[in-house]
Chain A
Amino acid sequence: MPDSRTPAITLDVVYLARLREAFGRGREGLTVASGATVGDVLAALRARGEPFAQELAPGRAVRVAVNHDIAPADRVLRDGDEVALLPPVTGG
């Protein structure tokens, strides 16, 4: 059971639609510090450089879902969370 003493947590990061094509992968495991937020994950991905930096730049309309619910940037993540990056939706 993860707790605040766990030094790192592993997330299942999912990329949908045009983000999957831009990044060349549909999902990947990501290890971050315990206590990391959604905002921290986006920053970590941007720090990789292109294409992440451009696609996830502040101001780009990307929503994040944690375990299938839209979450704000300050949402604290837990070990095993599924974190999905969603471009603006176009269903209907």
Chain B
Amino acid sequence: MAVRVTHDDFDAGREIAALRGGDTRVGAVASFIGTVRDVNESAVVSAMTLEHYPGMTEKALAQIVAQARERFDILDALVIHRVGELKPADQIVLVAVTSGHRGDAFDACRFIMDYLKTRAPFWKKEAIPSGARWVDARTSDDEAAARWNPKG
């Protein structure tokens, strides 16, 4: 289980191939890539800065992956999240999961993203025509994370 916080872009194909690593127990590989859009909340976004909390970021991502490992039957998982200055169409995050079967692979990938969106210490600042603004957290992200913990 690996997590990485980096300024550098990633090659998803190469990372996923490394994750699979020739492990013949793997029957399913699920992955997600988040990318920078050019419009948010009715404003054109020309650039984005990703800030994080050095010292906590990798720890928080590792905890999320550990929870995925407890909840789902997965073989391996990888999270790469970029920080720094990004432009529209740039890659932000890669989540990849291997499992024997697709149900746990898909669910674990979704779970990791839903928890990353609500628990990992990253903050986006957008450059829009009127200046720079911090992106607001979305209630839809909290709702998505909450769906993994249904109340009886």
Chain A residues engaging chain B, CB cutoff 8 angstroms: 14, 16-18, 61, 65, 68-70, 82, 84, 86-92
Contacts and interface: CB of A to CB of B under 8 A. Distances in A.
5 contacts: A16-B123, A68-B55, A89-B118, A90-B122, A91-B50
A92 B120 CA distance: 9
Interface of B: 34, 50-53, 55-56, 59-60, 81, 92-93, 113, 116-125, 134-137
A1 B50 CA distance: 38
A17 B123 contact: yes
B122 A89 contact: yes
A68 B59 contact: yes
Question: Is chain B's binding surface mostly helix, strand, loop or mixed?
Answer: mixed
Contacts of B119: 70, 89
Contacts of A70: 119
B123 A91 contact: yes
Nearest to A86: B121
B137 A88 contact: yes
A89 B137 contact: yes
Nearest to B81: A91
B134 A92 contact: no
B123 A90 contact: yes
B137 A68 contact: no
Given A61-B137, A65-B56, A68-B56, A89 B120 contact: yes
Nearest to B52: A91
A80 B125 CA distance: 31
A17 B124 CA distance: 8
Instruction: Give me the 3 closest cross-chain CB pairs, A-B, nearest first.
Output: A91-B122, A88-B137, A17-B123
Given A16-B51, A90-B122, A90-B135, 20 more contacts: A16-B123, A17-B123, A65-B53, A68-B59, A70-B119, A87-B134, A88-B136, A89-B120, A89-B122, A90-B117, A90-B124, A90-B134, A90-B137, A91-B52, A91-B93, A91-B123, A91-B124, A92-B92, A92-B117, A92-B122
A82 B53 CA distance: 12
B90 to A, nearest CB: 14
A69 B55 CA distance: 10
A91 B134 contact: no
